Chains A and B, each alone.
Chain A
Amino acid sequence: AQSVSQHNHHVILSEAASLELGCNYSYGGTVNLFWYVQYPGQHLQLLLKYFSGDPLVKGIKGFEAEFIKSKFSFNLRKPSVQWSDTAEYFCAVRDDKIIFGKGTRLHILP
């Protein structure tokens, strides 16, 4: 069965710092990979997705993620975070349904 592991449960950064959130998945087949974000009090929103092609995927709000097949990883990055990026971030993998990781709570200090 597929699974997703997010290494960082809680990350605190200052504004303008660079961000990288780790995500590893276990699934042997063709994967679809996602990052979702949940801002305080709001519903889950799709940040970006990887289906095939260029392993460097660009999403909304300046986020990007790199699919590295040999490492089973799909890390999320942003070169310079803003206070408004404070949220919970979920990595997810899909075969027939989406399986989510436990999430990383990101807190940006103003």
Chain B
Amino acid sequence: DTGVSQNPRHKITKRGQNVTFRCDPISEHNRLYWYRQTLGQGPEFLTYFQNEAQLEKSRLLSDRFSAERPKGSFSTLEIQRTEQGDSAMYLCASSRDRIYGYTFGSGTRLTVV
């Protein structure tokens, strides 16, 4: 069990650029979640996958955001045409099934300048 791995740890990008983050969950976990956390707030749910199927997307996930989990293993979160309001910590978590607690990764901190 090597934990949930997220890359990169930090990303600074110019407004209008596209960015992509990667999450590698714990290998036997079939559920994968993406959250966003801003300063002074709790993590906000964005989307989740069961295996390769994306089962729910939050209203927070605008059309500029897309997430994939093509083979039911790692996942990517892409933000197109980044805005300053996208600056946040993007967290990935995985779980074995819906009844188990999550294991979180260390997150990717995005700064849009």
Contact = CB atoms under 8 A, between A and B. Distances in A.
Interface of A: 4, 32, 34, 42-46, 49, 51, 90, 92, 96-103
Nearest to A95: B98
A97 B33 contact: yes
Interface of B: 33, 35, 40-45, 48, 55-56, 91, 93, 98-99, 101-102, 104-107
A-B complex: 4 closest residue pairs judged by Cβ atoms: A100-B42, A44-B104, A43-B106, A102-B42
Contacts of B98: 96
A98 B107 CA distance: 17
Given A44-B91, A44-B104, A96-B56, A32 B45 contact: no
A92 B44 CA distance: 11
Contact of A99 (B45, B56, B99): B45
Nearest to B41: A102
A101 B56 contact: no
B56 A90 contact: no
